[in-house]
Amino acid sequence: MVGHIGHLPPVWDRLAFTVKLMERVVGSDDEFTIDPLRHKEPLMLSVGTAVTVGVVVNTKKDVVEVVLKRQVCAAVGSQIAISRQVGGRWRLIGMGGTLV
């Protein structure tokens, strides 16, 4: 992201966010139901225009914490699209909103 110093959102290498999972996987011919997120599971996260992979390090009722492989620049409250590997391809499974 390009911008003036001091006017950009923070850069994160770790995110905690609320999660809302869908009932079924999007973009697949087969109708897979979505299981809850698991510890050490890789997820593809789209935060604004940034795309990164994160590994789940902590999961509670509807809040997940991930460590990112590539940092993202995002404001608190940014929306996140969450994808999981299903059948060898990344498929959209839910959305979230950043807490920290």
Whether 86 is covered by a domain: the verdict is yes
Residue-range definition of the domain harbouring residue 34: 11-98
Query: Is 24 part of a structural domain of the chain?
Result: yes
pLDDT tens column, 44-77: 999 988 999 999 999 998 899 999 999 999 899 8
Q: What is the pLDDT of residue 1?
A: 64
**CA–CA separation, 61 and 84 (whole Å):** 19
Q: Helix H segments across 1-100?
A: none
CATH code, 19:
2.40.30.10
- pLDDT of 24 strictly over 80: yes
Overall pTM surpassing 0.95 (yes/no) = no
Asked if residue 21 is part of any domain, the answer here is yes
Residue 14 has phi, psi (to 5 degrees) of -150, 135
| 16 within domain boundaries | yes
37 pLDDT exceeds 80?
A: yes
